[in-house]
Amino acid sequence: MDQAGTTYSQLGDARRGKLADNVSGFGRALRRAGVPVDAARMALAQQALTLTGLARQDFCAALETVLVSREQDRAVFHELFNAYFRNPEVAQKLLAQMLPSTESKAEPARRRPRVNEALAPVRAARTAPPAREDDKIEFDAAMTASDLQRLRNADFNQLSASEYLLVERLARDITLPLPHYAARRTRPGVRGQRPHWPGAMRLAARTGGELLRVPLLQRRQQPLPLVVLVDVSGSMERYTRLLLAFLHAATAARHAGGGLRRDVFAFGTTLTDLGAAFRLADTDAMLETASAAITDFAGGTRLGACLAQLRTAHARRLVGRRTLVLLVSDGLDTGVPEELERELGWLRRHSGRLLWLNPLLRFDGYAPTARGASALHRHAHGMVAVHNLARLHDLAGSLAALLRSPGAR
């Protein structure tokens, strides 16, 4: 038999397109579970199966090799693979002749929320009747206080797909009252130290030339200039989108009114200015524009090189050494240590406060022992956890406490 005949023999009914359809369905289930799978990976999966055959162990290993690129997704992949190909009805009888010993295994007692979310469309297609409008309304109303409390304290990285979208919407409603400073410009007030003579003349004109009260000038209160640096590496993937949505919604109104100077950058292997995206009023449009602008998403992290780009091309964004810098990262840097130390030192000297927003603080006993994390810990004025909604609510208080600490400019 020629090579083509051997391949067809190994693939069974692959010539009728059944294998390709079911592998594509498994890829869609992985995407619903939050695993990044694109068309290129699916094409590699189809090619890999023609080379390895369909023995269950080889089948699983081949798909894992080309479809999984992050360590945190491996457990999700294996649970979803076992559930998807365990029952012929779930997998549309894919490889039914090769799974006689697994058809009778009991359903696992507990699965990760991401796996249950991914399998929900398959189960619904097999067992659930068409949903009625009143059922949808009743389901939406079933979000109890305990459910909201659970989502409030749930780690962003552990949420299912629907929970993640809900939490992202809830994050947009969180306010972020930034600390203010006394600007050089003045306005009429009641507690100033300089007379406001034009206002005094207008008051005297109303009383026949008698000056009954001298209005005063007081310094304007403005929010601190804000520079946000957001890590878009692979380990920060599920935090980046949500934190960008939160920061955009929390600062959009004051920025549109002209009271807040706000500059946002994404960094991974290079620095990306997200100013154009953040000028959009709609948060969804901002996320779409930012996604198109970021070319190194889910790559590595070279913070030192990115800060060097900030220093050479955007140093004027740091206003008068009073700028509040929020650096969102897990500190897992792969760049040159000496460059990172040098650039972090420059950033600290030219900013009012440097606050490190670290999602890894969700772990009890966390210590910044990694090379990049250690450098960030030495140069940052403070470190705050941002891994759930409760921590985002506490962020404003953390900023105020940081500015009240000794050495605040």
In a domain, 35, yes or no: yes
- Say if residue 333 is in the same domain as residue 252: yes
Query: Among 201, 222, 243, which residue terminates a domain?
Result: 222
Residues 85 and 206 in one domain: no
Is residue 173 in some structural domain? no
Confirm whether 244 is domain-assigned.
Answer: yes
| Lateral strand order in the sheet of 324-328 | 271-273, 262-267, 226-231, 324-328, 353-357, 382-384
Binned at pLDDT 50, 70 and 90, residue 307 comes out as: very high
How much is the average pLDDT of 298-304?
A: 88
Same domain, 197 and 109: no
Average pLDDT score, the chain: 78
The answer to whether residue 80 is domain-embedded is yes
Whole-angstrom distance, CA of residue 86 vs CA of residue 106: 10
Residues 214 and 80 in one domain: no
Indicate whether 245 and 296 sit together in one domain: yes
Same domain, 362 and 277: yes
The residue ranking higher by pLDDT, 56 or 355, is 355
Q: What is the pLDDT of residue 290?
A: 93
- Choosing from 127, 151, 172, the residue where a domain stops is 127
pLDDT tens, residue by residue, 270-288: 999 999 999 998 999 999 9
| 217 and 111 housed in the same domain | no
Is this prediction's pTM over 0.85?
no
At residue 11, does pLDDT exceed 70?
Answer: no
Strand order in the sheet with 216-223: 180-189, 216-223, 194-195
Residue 385, domain extent: 224-404
Q: Are residues 370 and 262 in the same domain?
A: yes
222, 251, 276 — which closes off a domain? 222
* Amino acid identity for residue 407 in this structure: G
264 and 393 share a domain? yes
Structural domain includes residue 154? no
Does the pLDDT at position 70 exceed 70?
yes
* Radius of gyration (C-alpha) of the chain in whole angstroms: 28
Q: Are 190 and 305 within one domain?
A: no
Based on the fold, state whether residues 313 and 395 are members of the same structural domain.
yes
* Dist CA 66 CA 46 (whole Å): 10
* Position 395 in a domain: yes
What percent of the chain shows pLDDT beyond 90? 27
